[in-house]
Amino acid sequence: MRKYFITGLLILVPLVITVWVLKLILTTMDQSLLLLPEDWQPNKLFGFQITGMGAVLTVLVVFLTGVLARNFIGTRIVHLWERLLGRIPIVNSIYSSVKQVSDTLFSSSGNAFRKAVLIRYPHQNAWTIAFLTGVPGGDVKNHLAGDYISVYVPTTPNPTSGFFLMLPRADTIELDMSVDEALKYIVSMGVVAPPAATQKAPKAVPVRT
């Protein structure tokens, strides 16, 4: 009896959580329908709400924005728009900070989250997985003697929150696993381990500056 119940849980729990997460994402993205004129919204056109229409609209807007921004006219418009925002107090600091982070995370030439590394945290006798985000910059690097790297330490099971640390490069070990494998390992609290890699000597993390 007990083993059948546990088997049912192992099958249904991942399915229910997956459906719940997808529903949450779709419900959130459906809020983009509020940007449409009231007469164009599905509940006015069809008399009822269609779940997922907002997700389709969001994806379409993001795709079209990317297409328009890749041509000459679109590039000029984006440049002028950024110059305009750069002249507005407070908005300038917020926009520039968010843009730098998004460029680092989503740009194909960025270094963020390109490597999974092993570090000692939260004390010398414990280890955890972190992600390489770059090297210390600004005045910070003037106060750090030696070769340091910047890493992000995600929490479990929610990797969207975590800690930003700066560590000596020599104190980190590059892992032979992809970022996706490392994230699965973290989210599963160590249950879903990536396949074993070929044994090799630990090496410091290479960082492009």
| DSSP state letters, 25-59 | HHHHHGGGGGGS-GGGSHHHHTSS--TTHHHHHHH
pLDDT at 144 (0 to 100)? 92
Structure pTM? 0.55
Classify residue 132: in a domain, yes or no.
yes
Final residue belonging to a domain, choices 106, 127, 143: 106
From 106, 137, 161, give the residue that closes a domain: 106
Is the per-residue pLDDT at 73 higher than 60? yes
Asked if pLDDT for residue 205 goes beyond 80, the answer is no
pLDDT (0 to 100) of residue 207: 54
Considering 106, 128, 145, which residue would you say is the last residue of a domain?
106
Same domain, 94 and 124: no
Residue 99 sits in the same domain as residue 14: yes
Q: 149-158 pLDDT, tens per residue?
A: 999 998 887 7
Same domain, 67 and 146: no
Position 201 in a domain: no
Over the stretch 55-68, which tens digit does the pLDDT of each residue have? 788 888 888 888 87
Q: How many domains does the chain have?
A: 2
Q: Decide if 203 is inside a domain.
A: no
Q: Is residue 169 part of a domain?
A: yes
pLDDT band for 193, please (50, 70, 90 cuts): confident
Question: Is 195 inside a domain boundary?
Answer: no
Residue 206 lies inside a defined structural domain of this protein: no
16-33: string of b/e by CB count within 10 Å (b at 16+)? eeeeeeeeeebeebbebb
Mean pLDDT across the chain, nearest whole number? 80
- Same-domain check for residues 22 and 82: yes
Instruction: Count CA atoms closer than 13 A to 20's CA, side-chain side.
Output: 6
Q: Is residue 97 part of a domain?
A: yes
pLDDT at 106 over 70: no
Span 182-196, average pLDDT: 84
Q: Residue 199: inside a domain, yes or no?
A: no
Owning domain of residue 25: 2-106
120/102 same-domain check = no
In terms of domains, do 23 and 66 share one? yes
Residues 10 and 68 in one domain: yes
Lowest mean per-residue pLDDT among 44-58, 102-116, 134-148, 167-181: 102-116
Question: Do 148 and 101 share a domain, yes or no?
Answer: no
Same-domain check for residues 97 and 130: no
Statement to judge: residues 27 and 100 lie in one domain: yes
Same domain, yes or no: 128 and 100: no
Shared domain for 32 and 57, answered yes or no, is yes
Residue 119 has pLDDT above 90, yes or no: yes
Contact 182, 116 (CB under 8 A): yes
